[in-house]
């Protein structure tokens, strides 16, 4: 039952709108933030070299501060920003669909948790595994355990 509610189109749309509202608020107030993302949903342009890409975990955090924050743009359903990676500071434009953002964090405190399970992002057979991994990632932070009931 929970899975059906979290993957409901209306629920996913509400989450997407809330993510957009939160990001707009933070950007309007010039508040630096981090996003915890499902790396499978993230696009890099130009693509990152494999030796850098392979260092990412399935759930990856991006810190938007300094130049990365200043370059951030919210365009429709996509948050984009420029960032440097690896020892060479390899530059890439990072694009994240809003529903690929699992958490929004300010000063190490999650201020938003996205529990939606968009139907169009993963094949049916991978959904339960993805939900389990996402929940494990959320619960690995002791602060999140306080926010969620098991």
Distance, in Å, from the CA atom of 142 to the CA atom of 31, rounded to the nearest integer, reads 23
- Asked whether 75 and 96 are in contact (CB, 8 A), the reply is no
pLDDT higher than 70, residue 142:
no
- CA–chain centroid gap for 42, Å, is 8
74-118 pLDDT per residue, tens: 998 999 999 999 888 999 999 999 999 999 999 999 999 999 988
> Bigger pLDDT: 121 or 141?
141
> Side-chain half-sphere of 124: how many Cα atoms within 13 Å?
1
Domain 2-147 annotated CATH 2.30.30.220: yes
CA distances from 69 to 59, 62, 65 (A): 20, 10, 4
Q: Where are the domains of the chain?
A: 2-147
Given this model, what pLDDT does residue 8 score? Answer: 87
d(CA 15, CA 31): 21
pLDDT for residue 64: 96
Note the pTM of the prediction, 2 decimals.
0.77
């Amino acid at each position: 039952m929970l899975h059906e509610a979290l993957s409901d189109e209306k629920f996913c749309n509400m989450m997407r709108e809330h993510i957009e509202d939160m990001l707009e608020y933070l950007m309007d107030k010039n508040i630096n933030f981090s996003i915890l993302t499902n790396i499978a949903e993230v696009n890099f342009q130009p693509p990152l070299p494999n030796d850098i890409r392979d260092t990412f975990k399935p759930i990856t955090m991006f810190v938007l501060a300094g130049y990365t924050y200043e370059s951030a743009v919210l365009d429709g359903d996509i948050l984009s920003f420029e960032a440097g990676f690896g020892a060479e500071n390899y530059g890439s434009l990072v694009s994240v669909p809003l529903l690929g953002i699992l958490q929004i964090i300010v000063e190490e405190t999650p201020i938003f948790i996205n529990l939606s399970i968009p139907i169009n992002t993963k094949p049916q057979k991978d959904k339960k595994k993805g939900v389990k991994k996402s929940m494990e990632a959320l619960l690995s932070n002791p602060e999140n355990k306080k926010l969620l009931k098991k």
